[in-house]
Amino acid sequence: MTNDHDDNDAGRRWRALEARAPWLTGPLSSIARFIALIWRPFAVVGGFFATIGDRIRTWWDAQSRPAQWGVGLVGFVLLALLPVIKPPIITTTATDFGATLAQFAMVALIAIGLNVVVGQAGMLDLGYVGFYAVGAYVVALLTSPASPVWNSADHGVFSGPWAWFACVPLAIVITGLTGLLLGTPTLRVRGDYLAIVTLGFGEIVRLLADNLSDVTNGPAGLQGVLFPDVWRSDSQPDGVFGQSNNSGVLSYGVWWYWLGLVLVVIVLLVIGNLERSRVGRSWVAIREDEDAAEIMGVPTFKYKLWAFVIGAGIGGLSGAVYAGQVQYVDPKAFTVINSMLFLCAVVLGGQGNKLGVIVGAFIIVYLPARVQGVQVGDQSLGDYKYLFFGLALVTLMIFRPQGLMPARARLIAFGRKVYSSADRQPVVEESKA
């Protein structure tokens, strides 16, 4: 009975659409119906995961702070053990599972930083890959033997087992300053204009890296970027983070994944504290209505600049992780397509939700690796990853535009105690006169 009602309702909706769009008849109608038929399974799957996400989030919000810390610790341990346990249901067959998880941790860092700008402060940034590139090139210029900066000293500007760790704070600071220099003149514009400015910034950084051959080595890139050269042994002469450690359970990808997890937790703690402070509440006010926030006395430019600089610094951190893990940096890694994929992670997971964007990062990284090598006829499904992303985004925008795990505005704006007490407050009807 319910299915008949749903079918009739769907038919009425389709007839209403045809009435509003007379051109949607004949062959176009058949094509549109076929596309809708393809989308329906994606909508069902997306709705299923969205429902699970809502229930998990409701359960999570009902827990006390110590309980949340306990669950978080258990979850962290389970995530850390994933590359060791290698559950068959999620293990990638065509690619190294540890390396896939390491890439996920790096993209999760990027998504968290971009979420500060896009999801929390409400500024559309289409060139975030530029900050990612700046962080990577800072580490590469300071540690690669192919860099003129490194060769300006007798034994290199930075060398030794801990050189990479010394470069990471510099990458964060320099990238943050880049965000400050870009944001100071441009954050007075909004919306599409700001999106165009940031898109241009991302392309400018890539083109500079491609053409400043005397500094960046141009399209050839910078090879031999240093990495954490620690815990050497006879079997691991380059340490556990070196690419020569490419066999066994604890390969270099696993170690980079563990390092990435630690960095993700640190960044989450910092951003979480900012969310619960005046800074976070100001971001929410700016995102919801910048003009109203300005009238209420919020220094909107100041807090927008804070978000831009903090997001840029996190992007620089992720770029430093990329440079150390790959040990090679070239301009081809910082295209506008990668910038769009980073934005997809934020949109898919749920703008404004730190954990949601991590889920989005996992989807962006894991699904292409999972279908890599899966053959359908003569074609590999991995070759169609952008098609799958496009279908997923279109479906999500139609059926769940807020993302899989959207942020709860009241929780961010007023705090956990007020939010919880408001949910438990009984509704009292006003007495009729």
* Predicted confidence band of residue 404 (pLDDT cuts 50, 70, 90): confident
Strand partners, 412: none
pLDDT band at 17 (very low <50, low <70, confident <90, very high): low
- Name 366's Cβ contacts closer than 8 Å, sequence gap at least 6: 90, 92, 100, 104
Domain ranges of the chain: 1-62, 71-419
Q: Flag whether pLDDT at 280 surpasses 80.
A: yes
Q: Cα–Cα distances in Å, from 84 out to 33, 255, 258?
A: 46, 11, 11
Query: If you write DSSP's letter for every residue of 17-41 in order, what string do you get?
Result: HHHH-TTS-THHHHHHHHHHHHHHH
pTM tops 0.85: no
Q: Which pLDDT does position 182 carry in this prediction?
A: 92
Characterise 297 by phi-psi region: left (phi > 0), alpha (psi -120 to 50), beta (else).
left
* Range of weakest confidence among 65-69, 169-173, 253-257, 277-281: 65-69
Residue 413: is its pLDDT beyond 50? no
The set of residues, in sequence order, having a beta carbon less than 8 Å from that of 141 and lying 6+ positions away, is 147, 149, 150, 215, 216, 222
Q: What local confidence, expressed as pLDDT, does residue 226 receive?
A: 84
Judged by average pLDDT, the poorest of 246-260, 299-313, 382-396, 412-426 is: 412-426
Of 270, 267, 255, 261, nearest to 324 (Cα)?
A: 255
Contacts of 106 (CB under 8 A, 6+ apart): 256, 260, 318, 321, 322, 325
Q: Which spans in 221-297 are helix H?
A: 252-275, 278-288, 290-295
Contacts of 414 (CB under 8 A, 6+ apart): 422
Tell me what the mean pLDDT of segment 69-77 comes to. 84
pLDDT of residue 79: 85
What mean pLDDT is predicted for residues 356-360? Answer: 89
Q: Tens digit of pLDDT for each residue in 386-395? A: 777 777 777 7
The answer, yes or no, to whether residue 428 has pLDDT greater than 50, is no
Do residues 216 and 137 make contact, with C-beta atoms less than 8 angstroms apart?
yes
In the Cβ-directed half-sphere of 364, how many Cα atoms lie within 13 Å? 28
SS3 readout for 78-101: HHHHHHHHCCCCCCCCCCCHHHHH
pLDDT surpasses 50 at 315: yes
Range 71-419 classified under CATH 1.10.3470 = yes
Task: Summarize the confidence of residues 276-288 as an average pLDDT.
Answer: 89
Averaged over 60-68, what is the pLDDT? Answer: 77
Residue 207 confidence (pLDDT)? 93
**CA-closest candidate to residue 304, choices 278, 339, 277, 279:** 279
Q: Of the ranges 38-42, 100-104, 248-252, which is most confident?
A: 100-104
Q: Residue 295 region, left (φ>0) first, then alpha (ψ -120 to 50), else beta?
A: alpha
User: What pLDDT shows up at residue 423?
Assistant: 44
Instruction: Give the mean pLDDT of 45-59.
Output: 68
Q: Which helix (H) or strand (E) holds 184?
A: helix 163-186
Residue 215 has pLDDT above 60, yes or no: yes
CA distance 7 to 16: 14
Computed over every residue of the chain, the mean pLDDT equals 79
Cα–Cα distances (Å) from 23 to 17, 26, 32, in that order, read 10, 8, 12
Give kind and range of the element (H or E) at residue 379: strand 379-380
Which range has highest mean pLDDT (140-144, 159-163, 378-382, 393-397)? 140-144
If one compares 105 and 431, the residue with the highest pLDDT of the two is 105
Between CA 52 and CA 64 the distance in angstroms is 21
pLDDT at 48: 65
Res 422 pLDDT > 50: no
47-56, 251-260, 269-278: range with lowest mean pLDDT: 47-56
Contact 313, 179 (CB under 8 A): yes
Q: Which of 93-107, 146-160, 339-353, 417-431 has the lowest mean pLDDT?
A: 417-431
Answer yes or no: is pLDDT of 432 > 60: no
Task: Say yes or no to pLDDT of 276 above 70.
Answer: yes
Query: Which pLDDT score is estimated for 162?
Result: 78
> Residue 385: which residues within 8 A CB-CB, separation 6 or more?
367, 368, 371
**Crossing angle between the packed helical segments 354-371 and 336-349, to the nearest 10 degrees:** 120
Q: What is the pLDDT of residue 170?
A: 93
For residue 147, pLDDT beyond 90: no
Highest mean pLDDT range out of 341-350, 380-389, 413-422? 341-350
pLDDT-derived band of residue 265, with 50, 70 and 90 as boundaries?
very high
CB-count exposure of residue 88 (10 Å: 0-12, 13-18, 19+): exposed
pLDDT of residue 116: 93
204, containing H or E segment: helix 191-211
Q: Give the pLDDT of residue 5.
A: 46
Residues 67-87 have a mean pLDDT of 84
